[in-house]
Structure 1
Amino acid sequence: MQDTSHLLLIDGNNIGYAAMYQPALSRLAYKGMATGGILGLSQSVMRISALFPKAVPIVLWDGHAQWRKDLFPEYKANRKDTPEKIEIAEKWRIQAPHAQTLLLQMGVPQVRAADAEADDLAYRICLGPGAEAFTDDAPQRITLVSNDKDWLQALSETTDWLSPITNKRASLADLSSGESATVDDGPFRDTDDFILAKAIAGDKSDNIDGVPGVGSKTAAKLLARHGDLERLEAAVISGAAKDTKSREIAKNMALIERNRHLMDWRRAPAPQEVGLICESFYATDCNDLCKHLGLENLAKRLSESGDWSRRVLQWPLSAGLDHVEQALWR
């Protein structure tokens, strides 16, 4: 048995794009090109890695999951519904390849599938058929690093979640206890209830409409009361459940089912075009690229004798990548 110890699965686009909404980073530019997203993502990777110095960080990138747009054409359409959002999205689109190159030179493994989102890759690595088939070589712990609470659906006894912006954390126990401020819509009986409650409530950040007037917290309470969605519907049909919100849920079963397909990672098709890239840390190349991008202070932190260089050498890289390859290519 190989001890892969701890993997950090990092949501690259989520963190880089979010950095462009931070005032100091949003204004950062060099020779006419915005660079705040590059700096924000690389600094987040370095900071999270410092919290878990022996963990292997792996950045997951979004591809184009066309099947979600086919199912719901308005999926994420709100990401570009104002001139400001369009400008920020375009600035990050230009920066993303530079961020990927810098992370590669920093020695950080990266995974992307042309036909899947980072969320889908995270599921395959944590809980997918390939991951389950190789339990003897599974990591002792996985930390999901994203600002997106959708990632809470992958929580397990060995998987937790961390927001790189707020530093809030969540475990499977937090999901079910309702005592954590991070899981503010709970408690949920399990991750199945969590994602079903989200399917009922919808997700404004992804432009997914939900059952009118029913939020995630109310959905969780009604599911706990009735046992599951089918029993809730049966109670409404029989007249045992007469409250307005239960009736609204029963009226919108088709919408809920659509949302489950969009949101539940287990329903996503297996990615067909997955690529993993990883190189050794090259301080000279990092410094050259940082200087080319006007990121002089970052260049100083990526020297051969710095903390980052020492940390990279501690990673059980081979074992960590073995698990990822087995999970994604089985």
Structure 2
Amino acid sequence: MTAEQPNPFRAPAAAAGPYTPAQPVAAPGPVPPPPSVPPAGHGVPPQQNPYAPPAGPPFPPPGTRQAYPGAHGPGVPAPWPPPPPPRPANGFGVTALVLGFIAAACCWTYYGSPAALVCGVLAVVFGRLGLRRVVSGRADNRGIALGGLWAGAGGGAVALVLSVLLVIYGVPRVQVETEAGAAYLAGPAETVTFDDGMAVSFGTPRNQGADTAAEPGDATYEITATVANGTDHLVELDDDGINVLVGDNELPDQYYYREAAREDLAPGQTVRVRFMIEVPGETVVLGVDYRPSDDHEWAYWEFDLDGGDRSGTDDQGTDGDLDV
């Protein structure tokens, strides 16, 4: 048999000692009445709470907005302000005006005309786009867009003309290297050399007789040019040119012609080109301007027709020459 274990949760036993009765509690006294507040109007101000917040306008009920003063009646909430209007899209019109100004300013310059032509075309395009925005209500600069369009059109037209002239006449041509044919008029059998290596010489004109002339009293002369290609590229002789002068007057094209045509001249090749020229019977001096192609400058010759005879031989000749 085991001994009983003590209960740890049991209240401790009261200590033994003499019993002391509790002291009686005194009854509460009467409650004092609250201080009397004098009625309003008797000159006594009401007492203020020093911790109360300052007085202000009453807050609106939840879910309402304060009305603008004088805009609505009392107690009516104000609507949201309207959104600002969208900004006008005037970029196309301004761009057209700037490009049109550039085109009008540069179209008068010879070498600036290509750039003016491009600016003029772009000004017309942006001007039309700007006018479309004005019509649709997205832009308000109709005058600016219209001014850029017309400035671009005018400047572009002038630039187009000058650009064409620049292409035709502005391309640098191959210059004459020798003094003969440039500084002074070359004579028979005198070779004129160009900067790219092309060489040209003419023989003495040969009289073919009056019976070959189309007009009575006129005479027909045969003159032969020897053209040598000293370049490293092909030269098209069908682009060559010749002008014939009698005194100070240039003969019309129908009075001279080339007997045959040749399309090209290979590098290192030499050809002989014959021309038939009809001149008045009293002609003494014959002038010839010749260039081997459109890429070359003109070279100049002068011939005395007094000594020309029908049976004479040419003053020049090269073995292996090709007659054209």
TM bin (shorter chain): under 0.3
Which structure's residues are more often strand, by fraction? 2
Which structure's residues are more often helix, by fraction? 1
Structure number with larger C-alpha Rg? 2
TM-score, normalised by the number of residues in structure 1: 0.17
User: Taking CA–CA contacts closer than 8 Å with sequence separation of 6 or more, which of the two structures ends up with the larger relative contact order?
Assistant: 1
TM-score, normalised by the number of residues in structure 2: 0.17
